[in-house]
Amino acid sequence: MKIKIIANNDNIRLSEELKLHFSKRMYKSIKSKNTLFYVNQKLTNTFEFIKKDDVIEFEYENKIKSELNWPIYESKLDIIYENDNYLIINKPYNLLSIPTTKNPKSVYQEVLYYLKDNNDKSIAIINRLDKDTEGLMLIAKNKLAASKMSNVHEKMERRYLALLEGFLDNDSGKIINYIAKEKDSIKRYITDDKFGKIAISNYKVIERFNDYTLTEFILETGRTHQIRLHAKSINHPIVGDKLYNENTNSDKMYLLSYYIKFYDEFKKEEIEIYLDKEYIKTWIKK
């Protein structure tokens, strides 16, 4: 695979410029293969200085096989967007993002099946969703993309729709508290700052029904079960959330990742993807 990048800095060593473009792990992998680097088509050592807008090129082949011996399942991916570096899918309800010993079927294997003809199997799921949460997921398709997109999740704008129990009086609000993991359990709980990590959600009412409220959540942090716990904390748990809503009558949890926005390190531009209103109407009626 031929990799081409443009230097962003002036009067800097080639090695330092490369470290700004790749993770430490990726850079070590590139160096370990005795890679030859060309700057403006001239063979260049990593200790040499380069200039801004210089063109850096090198060949990198990743032939490392997946260390996980998970079974691979036939792909049923609902692909919303795809290019050479990543794809965005619409994950269905009742499917894990990554496999576990007890439940090995997941998005991870479906993506591996979809990309089965690719030599590079180093995929990375950028924004994981709970098994019962539906919606948009961003997945890097190779090792280079996984490296360059490693920090995307922290800066990604994520918006969710949740169908909450009852009639939510406030039109909007902000929830700030701390979340910690229960010992020997998948459940989380709200606690003080001594034991938990800060969790911040902004919410806005989209539509009110007789017994439910459709609410948008915009996250400032990405804690496990954050929206589920925050909805419960305002006494309006998510419909179908059997983990935190013991009295629910629904077999399905109504939480949807419907919008993501992130910076594409390859195109050097903002990417905005969302599920349209018609899809959302159908989702509510399911």
Cα atoms in the Cβ-side hemisphere of radius 13 Å centred on 202:
6
Question: Quick one: CA dihedral 114, 120, 125, 130, positive or negative?
Answer: positive
Is residue 127 a contact partner of residue 156, using CB atoms and an 8 Å limit? yes
> Is 130 a residue of the active site?
yes
Catalytically annotated residue among 54, 130, 132, 241: 130
Structure tokens at 279: 């899809």
- Report the length, in residues, of the chain: 286
Burial class (CB in 10 A: 0-12, 13-18, 19+), 169: exposed
Give the pairing of strands 2-6 and 55-59. Answer: antiparallel
Q: Which residues are catalytic?
A: 130
